[in-house]
A = this chain, B = another copy of it.
Amino acid sequence: MVQKNKKPPSAAKIEAPVAPKRRGRPRAYEPDVALGKALDLFRRDGFAATSLDDLSAATGMNRPSLYGAFGDKRELYIKSYQRYRDDARAAMVDIFRADAPLRERLERIYRIALDIYLSGESGPRGCFTVMTAASEAVSDPDIRAMVLEGLTELDKAFGICFRHAKERGELPDGADPASLAHLASATIHTIAIRARARVPRGELEAIVKGAVDVMCRAK
């Protein structure tokens, strides 16, 4: 039995949006929730320390199903990271777009960030980028590209915030939006790291408050 083409050539244009009425045995998992479980594991333990057995147990999928659905371990890791970035972006994009005073926007962003970093039953989960992706970035060009993309995306979003605030007169003329944006990103990074060391939320919030004060002081 030679199976050569993965997609039947006849079904070229038909793209069922809801219930594609798949042909064979139905899958016993939902890809989205499975990917979420994999993401949790990778985020907690990193790439190397997460075994396929762990992933299999957490997702409820056996190894061949995992492989068929997401590819090998590295592909699953990358898909998990993409998922993480999508979720984080979705949680922040509204705030970045919103037309609110600078301080309020910053406070809301950092509140979301703390929620992301501190959630998790078995300890704070930290930030995927900072905790594991940055480590892989040195040796893996694809992951490195994703990390760089994420870093500059955050810088840019903060940059728009500060430029906007400056135009509105919330910042002094001498203020440099790009530098402030880097400081805002740096504050994200430092709380991600500290969260991982189990620094309690109150302390992290104090650090954030101090940073916001410095970044917003229009003196």
Please name all residues of chain B whose beta carbon is closer than 8 Å to the beta carbon of A193 when the two chains form the complex. Answer: 129-130, 134, 151, 189
B197 contacts A187, C-beta separation under 8 Å: no
How many monomers of this chain does the complex have?
2
B198 contacts A138, C-beta separation under 8 Å: yes
- Per the bound structure, the CA–CA distance linking A147 and B197 in Å amounts to 7
A interface, over-half SS? helix
Size of A's binding interface in residues, CB under 8 A: 50
Please name all residues of chain B whose beta carbon is closer than 8 Å to the beta carbon of A123 when the two chains form the complex. Answer: 138-139
Closest-by-CB residue of B relative to A208 is: B182
Could you mark each residue 208-219 of chain A with 1 if its beta carbon is under 8 Å from any beta carbon of chain B, else 0? 001101110101
Known: A174-B217, A183-B187. A194 touches B151 (CB 8 A): yes
Contact of A196 with B by CB under 8 A: yes
Please name all residues of chain B whose beta carbon is closer than 8 Å to the beta carbon of A172 when the two chains form the complex. Answer: 219
Could you mark each residue 22-33 of chain A with 1 if its beta carbon is under 8 Å from any beta carbon of chain B, else 0? 000000000000
Could you mark each residue 137-152 of chain A with 1 if its beta carbon is under 8 Å from any beta carbon of chain B, else 0? 1110000100110010
Chain A interface (Cβ < 8 Å from any Cβ of B): 44-49, 122-124, 126, 129-132, 134-135, 137-139, 144, 147-148, 151, 172, 174, 176, 178-180, 182-183, 185-187, 189-190, 193-194, 196-199, 207, 210-211, 213-215, 217, 219
